Structures are given as C-alpha cells and as structure tokens.
Amino acid sequence: MKIIRLSLLTSLCLASVFAHASNEVSELDYYQDLPVVLSASRLSQPLSEAPNAMTVIDRKMIIASGFRTIPDLFKLVPGMYVSYYKGSQAFVSYHGATDQYARRMQVMIDGRSVYMPPVSTVDWADLPITVDDIERIEVIRGPAAASHGANSTQGVISIVTRDAGDLDGGSVSFTRGNKGVNDISTRFGKRGEKYDYRMTLAYSADHGYDNLTAAPPGKAITQSQVPTLLNNSFDNNQARLLNYRADYHPNSADNFDIQFGFNHDVQTVGWTDKNIGTNFNTTHDLLSDAGFFQLGWTRQMENDSELDLRYYHIRHNKRESLPYYLGGTFHIGPITQSLTTGRDEIEVQHTVHTASNNRLVYGAAWRKDSIDGSATYDNLFPAHSFSTARDEYRIFAHDEWRITQSLLLNTGGMYEKDSMGNANTSPRIALNLHITPRRTVRIGSSVAYRTPALVEAQLPTLQPGDLFIPSSTVNSPGLIPERLLAREVGYLENFDVSTTLDLRVFSEQLSDGIYKSATSKFVNGMRAKREGMEITLKHSVNDVSDLTLNFAHQAGSSNAPALFAAGNTSLKPASPSITDVYSGSIPRNSASALYARHTGDGFSYSASYYFQDALQPFDRGSVDYQPVQRRMDVRIAQTFREFGGSNGEVAVVIQNLFDQGYTEYVANNVFDRRGYLTLRLDW
C-alpha cells in the first residue's frame, strides 16, 4: 500500500510539470464518457471531478444483476458488505466491521434520508419502492459528512428513482420461484405538457431461509453444535406497497416534484427452539407500516444559478404480539409492543456561479425526529413506555474552484447541532488533477462524525422484533459522537470510449468509537484504523456487452484487545485464533464481476460472480463464523414485441448456480441455490 500511495503521489508531482500544456484542451474533454454524479458535493459533476470515490449502479446493471431486492444491489460495489439477520432483515455496510444495525451508513432516496431512529439504521424491507422504480444508485465510498451530515461516516447510498415522465403507458410484472418467491407489480404513468406522473403498486413475498437440519457444506461448525442453534425456519416476508411521483412544470423556470408512498410489511420473526429449555422470543408476526410524503420546488435563475426547496415527512410504525414462555412450555405472556418513529425535514439550497471558474452551493436544513413506543407484559413486568424527540439544525457549503483547466479544488463542510447537545463541524478538501483529459489523480481528506443513536444513549428503547424489553432503561450518559479521519488517493483513467479504471487507496482512523461495556452501557473509547485499496474496471462495447470487475483489499486494527484485557467482556474474541474482534470482522479480500450481453434479436444473458473472504461478525459468537463465500448468478431473458398489442420480456434468474451453500451473518442463514422466472408486459 505504501508503494501504491508513493507511486500515485509521485505521478501527481511529475504531472504538474506538464499540466499547463493542456490549457488548449476543451473542458468537456476532461469528463466525456464518464457518468455525471450529483450526491458527492451537491453539484453536478463528472466522476473525474467529484471529491470522493464513487460507484454508479445504472439501470442496465440493475437489470443484468437479476436481483429482486434492493440491498443485494450493493454487492456490485467494491468493499461493500451485505448480509441478513433474517430473510427479510438486511443490513448494508462498507468495509465490514459491522453489527446487525450498520449504524454508520447514510441512505437517501431522492434526497430523503431513510436512516431512522431509534437504532439509527435502515429497515430495507419497509421501503415503499421496488427495484424496478430505481433509475440509478450513487454510492459515495467513504465519509461524506461534509455534504450529508453526521452518520455518513462509512459512506452514502443515494437512490434516484425513475422520473415521473419515464413511463407513458403501463407495465405489469409477475415473478414466481422457489423459496416462496411470489411477486407482482404494476406501473403506469402519463407524460403531459405541464404534468407528468407515474405510480407503482406491488406485492412481494418469499419464505426467507430454509430450516437448518444439518451442518451445511463448508460450514465451520460441527454436527454436535447444530442442536445448540436456534431454528429460524420461520422468517417469511410479505410486503404490499404503493408509490407515486409527479412533476409539475408550469413554465421553463419552475418545477415541482411531488412524491408519496406507503408500505405494509409482515415479517415472521423470533425463533423456534426444541433443544433449549428457554426461548424468550418465539416465532410471531412483526407488522410494519411505513409511509412518506415529499414536496420539492426547483427554480432556474439567472446566470445558471438554481434554488431548491424540499420538505418531507416520514412515519414508521412497528407492532407485535406474542406469547411469552419460560422453562420451555410454561406460559407467562402475552407481550405486546408498538413503536412509532417520525421525521420532518425542510432543506433549502442555492447553487450559484460566483465566477467563470467557480461554483458554490450552500444551504441550511432543520429536522425533527420523534419516537413513541409502549409495551405490556401481562402481569410479569410493569407496562413500559418511551417517548422522545430530537431537533437538528445544519448549515453547509461546498465550493468548486477550477484553478486551471487541469486542476480542480473541492472544499466544503457542514455544521450540525441537535437538541441532545451534539455540535459538530465536518470539513472536506479534495484536489483533482487531470494529468491528461482522460487521466485524473485525486487526493482528499475529510473528517466525519456519527452522533450516538438513541438506543445507545438509552438502552433499550423499544425495539419490536428484538425481545425482550424490560420495564426500565439503562442510560449511557456522557456519550459523545464518534470521529473519523479519512485520507485517500484515487486514480481514474478513461482508456478509450469503452474502458475505465478507478483505483482508490484509503486510510481511515476512528476515535471515540462507541461500544457496549460489560455493564451493558454504551461507552466511548474504541480506537480503530482501516487501510486498503479498491479497484473497479469497466469495459463496454456499444450497447452489445458490458463487463464490470470490482476488487477490494482491506485490513484493520483496533485497541479492542487492550479494552478486553481491562475487563470489557463485550469485546471478547469469538475464538482463540482471533485476537481483535474489530479486525476479525473485516473481510480481507472481496470481489465481484458482472458480464452482460445483448444480441440483435432481443435475446440477452448475464452472469455475475461474488467472492468474500472469511470473517467473524462483530457482535456474534464463534458458531456464526462466516467461511469464504463464493456465488455465481445467471440471468437469461428474451424480449418480444407486438404480442396481443403488448411488448414485454420473459427472464429466468438462477442464484448461487453451483449451490455453494454459505452462511450470511447467522449460522442458520444458509444461502443455497434458488431461482425464479419473471414475465413483464408493457403497453
């Protein structure tokens, strides 16, 4: 890594000798054939001029992957870790080192943050959109608090849905497969002179993971350990959703974006357990209702300046009811729990050209998060309730200064303050040098913070689906935000119109990290370091074929061994071969490959491969050790035209083609071969 960093820095120094020789080159030459991104700095920029390393998952990649759930799409991002606590309870993080909640990854949909309290995580099963609603995904690989605030310490996922005018007509899709896969969706829309709209209605269902009856192939557990595993054969999921998006453009200057959506989800959670005498969380249904409303206004002003105003409201309710058992069959319950979270946010930003070689975006926002919950336990414990709210204010600015035709400086920062007493300033600086119009070196550094989640400050706040909840809370006073210092060197080359290379070398240092102590309180005190490199190679041949290769190598270290020696038993290594629970939870190597090809007669096929080194999940025992993962998926599709007045496509997807049964996060989650067929009709 030192050699790579030194080589890139040397290239930067040598390039400055002839950088001025390219002054006659057109500005467009520096980013032709490269995707334009919006989320890195809040300015529209080509990848070669963004202040962060980024991955763009476009519509073609989404289709070629064959994925039917949104979290799986991030397997196409170098360094991303995607796993599941249950069949419908996914979590996504960057650079591993995560727990079940992945609290350090910001996720947005059309600028709307869906990273919600009380556990500061994303409930992927409750998002009221489908894979077919997504136009593209921009992933900021690394801290981006300067643009998107606290809790962006690992990175930012920005999901952009398809425009309201994208569909002029209708479409219906049916998907059937094993593991209980049963999906149906319909989309319809209309383009008008001043008003465009589209709507999606969808139902999806599956049976999650299979019942574990024996140690799976390649599993790092013995047959004698299997009876000690809780049985997760009941993790079904059913979701019904609606989303609507409209654009009203009364004139050439103004555009109004109107969105709303709703999702009703039923997950089977808890565990069956015939081998252990006590099971406090028996299988039951977890009901969830999630909805949102969003209104945006954009005005194009003089001198290419732009004013944006956005408001959104999110409401999310979870509830469950189940019997409570003690000693195997002795009935104590029932237990009922309910938790409602809400968010309101108003944001305004102004983009302006301050000079011919300078652009500035600045703005401010206010956000309010609210939480209300209650739980009753028959006569076993007193009723328990919880209610709180948090206000947050922030101001931000980002400046793009084109020093010369080949040298670009990005600077920016965000100041945030909330009603819990947290106040942070997150700066960022990046220098992009175009060695040639198709070769760019980027050097950047930033500081990002993660504010403590409410579940960390007051444990436990009510968490349906994660029993059991006692009648009192364990407060963790004095928690301060985690701090992350990140440095990176990147190299981007566009070899020709069909091939690009993206290389990133990074170093990240965490201080004041939050972890659970031996007294069940959350405390600051963890220090950690991550270093590594990531490579993405893309090759396209017109609209015929596309190849994307990703590779990530990373390593980490922390003071967890010293903290454990001092009595913090929560940081106890899962096995004698692991001395550092932090570094053990990071997969040293991971890779993905996606190849897609289209023929002239409407036939297409794609194949993808995913690899991940072994790891020990941060907050799981040694029985949940994850061996090396290898998986290959294939998709075969045929489009047809003028069939009964409709066009459409039929596609077959087989996941884990060679049935290399591997586990995901929990030993019971064995991912074996599965497949499904999709029929889509358009009119």
Question: 3-state secondary structure string, 401-416?
Answer: EEEECCEEEEEEEEEE
Amino acid at 296: G
Amino acid at 357: N
Beta-sheet strand order (sheet of 134-141): 54-57, 134-141, 155-161, 105-109, 112-113
Number of Cβ within 10 Å of residue 33's Cβ equals 13
The most distant pair of C-alpha atoms in the chain lies apart, rounded to whole Å, by 83
Q: What are the chain's domains?
A: 2-682 (2.40.170.20)
**pLDDT score of 400:** 97
- Mode of pairing for the β-strands spanning 134-141 and 89-94: unpaired
Q: Which three-class secondary structure state does DSSP give residue 194?
A: coil
How far is Cα 327 from Cα 276, in angstroms, rounded to an integer?
Answer: 9
**pLDDT score of 635:** 98
How many H helices and E strands in the chain? 6, 37
Amino acid at 618: F
Answer whether 569's CB lies under 8 Å from 518's CB: yes
Give the CA count within 13 Å in the CB-facing half-sphere of 8.
25
**pLDDT score of 313:** 97
**pLDDT score of 230:** 52
Residues 6 or more apart in contact with residue 485 via CB below 8 angstroms: 445, 446, 447, 508, 509, 511
**pLDDT score of 275:** 45
Answer whether 313's CB lies under 8 Å from 342's CB: yes
Amino acid at 388: T
How far is Cα 324 from Cα 326, in angstroms, rounded to an integer?
Answer: 7
552, 668, 85, 459: CA torsion to nearest 10: -120
Q: Which three-class secondary structure state does DSSP give residue 533?
A: strand
Q: Which three-class secondary structure state does DSSP give residue 76?
A: helix
Residue whose C-alpha is closest to residue 137's, from 201, 75, 202: 75
Answer whether 572's CB lies under 8 Å from 581's CB: yes
Strands (E), 162-236: 169-177, 182-190, 195-206
Q: How far is CA 515 from the centre of its chain?
A: 22
**pLDDT score of 49:** 96
**pLDDT score of 333:** 62
* Residue corresponding to tokens 């020990």: 616
Token duo for residue 632: 């290959």
33: left (phi over 0), alpha (psi -120 to 50) or beta: left
Answer whether 631's CB lies under 8 Å from 655's CB: yes
Amino acid at 169: G
Per-residue pLDDT of 233-258, as tens digits, reads 678 999 999 999 999 999 999 999 99
**DSSP code of residue 63:** H
Q: Render 215-226 in DSSP notation, one character per residue.
A: PPTT-SS-GGGG
How far is Cα 551 from Cα 316, in angstroms, rounded to an integer?
Answer: 37
* Residue corresponding to tokens 């947050």: 392
Percent over 90 (pLDDT), the chain: 60
Torsion sign (Cα): 423, 455, 159, 591: positive
Phi, psi (rounded to 5 degrees) for 189: -165, 175
Answer whether 155's CB lies under 8 Å from 345's CB: no
**pLDDT score of 461:** 57
**pLDDT score of 518:** 78
How far is Cα 101 from Cα 224, in angstroms, rounded to an integer?
Answer: 30
Torsion sign (Cα): 596, 496, 405, 305: negative
Mean pLDDT of successive 10-residue segments in the chain (683 residues)?
43 40 45 78 95 95 96 96 88 81 89 85 92 96 92 92 93 94 96 96 91 45 46 80 97 96 92 55 86 97 93 94 60 75 96 95 96 76 79 96 96 94 94 95 96 76 55 72 96 89 96 85 91 96 92 95 86 82 93 94 95 90 87 96 80 95 84 94 92
H or E segment and range at residue 4? helix 2-18
Q: Render 574-612 in DSSP notation, one character per residue.
A: SSTT-S-HHHHTS-SEEEEEEEEEE-TTSEEEEEEEEEE
How far is Cα 317 from Cα 290, in angstroms, rounded to an integer?
Answer: 6
Amino acid at 549: L
Answer whether 482's CB lies under 8 Å from 558's CB: no
**pLDDT score of 496:** 77
**DSSP code of residue 521:** -
**pLDDT score of 315:** 95
Answer whether 332's CB lies under 8 Å from 380's CB: yes
How far is Cα 13 from Cα 102, in angstroms, rounded to an integer?
Answer: 39
Residue whose C-alpha is closest to residue 80's, from 137, 38, 123: 137
**pLDDT score of 147:** 94
**pLDDT score of 375:** 80
How far is Cα 449 from Cα 466, in angstroms, rounded to an integer?
Answer: 27
Q: Which three-class secondary structure state does DSSP give residue 59?
A: helix
Phi, psi (rounded to 5 degrees) for 637: -140, 150
How far is Cα 498 from Cα 486, in angstroms, rounded to an integer?
Answer: 32
